[in-house]
Structure 1
Amino acid sequence: MHRERRLLTLTLLGLLAALLPACGGPAAAPRAAQITCHTAYRPSVTVPIESEGMVVIPGDADAEYEAPESGDLRLQARYWTGEADGERALQLLVTPAGAADPLLTHLYQLPQDSGPQNQFVGGHGFTGLIYVYHPTSGAELQFWCEAAE
């Protein structure tokens, strides 16, 4: 009896998964007019946030941006509209001050005509809240990005 119920459940889940795309699924978010990335920096995890900043990325031009200086760590953003090659993307990099090589790189590949869609609770946009630590000083940079229509 248990096996039959499990088989029926799996069959129904498979049918539901097949039907959802036909129903259109969730509507795509409109293409963001701009993306705003926020930063919060502290020189050590034992002290409060020392500085906050943001960088606003218009969604209509390929460009590189840098958040205001944040002690030992800096956030850079590179945005491509996709007009030249059909590959719209946002790349976020965190680099130690004075260094060339990033500690962290995230690439968000975006549809040409929609999104990104803010999905994280707590106001943490489409990236979620990300923490990066300096390898020698122990400084912490928190950042998140959100889309605006």
Structure 2
Amino acid sequence: MAAGKGYNHRIQVLDPQGRFLRAFGSQGTTDGKFNYPWGIATDSLGFIYVCDKENHRVQVFQSDGTFVGKFGKLGPLEGELEHPHYIAVSNTNRVIVSDSNNHRIQLTNGDFVSTKNVALSSQNVEPNASCIRSSTRNMGGRSKEPDIIQ
């Protein structure tokens, strides 16, 4: 299990009983550093996906905290993010991110990120964890490799 410590700019890894195992990350903008890590998800292979909210990206780590890759940068286009908050990994290893300030959900498809405009901005509702949970239903079997854009 991984838990974010947003104001401490780090991720803590816990065992199934909730005991502390290790922490990684610190404040910054380079690979492996965070500016308010927010949503966290893991996949069946043990990769940890972290919404690095103020750096407008998602970073991916091995379970030991080793940096693997990242995707996203500040902007409104596909593959760009503005304050990503929540994240989930589907049973096909597609990464689903709530792109909060762009009022949409973005999905990886293996090569790039596709945008699903969820038309929530007109309802004054921010894409959140419940939007992501509903987006991950009925998505088929798992692949062996995570979808990471490096």
When the two structures are superposed, what TM-score results if normalisation uses the length of structure 1? 0.26
Q: Give the structure-2-normalised TM-score.
A: 0.26
Relative contact order, CA 8 A, sep 6+: which one is greater?
Answer: 1
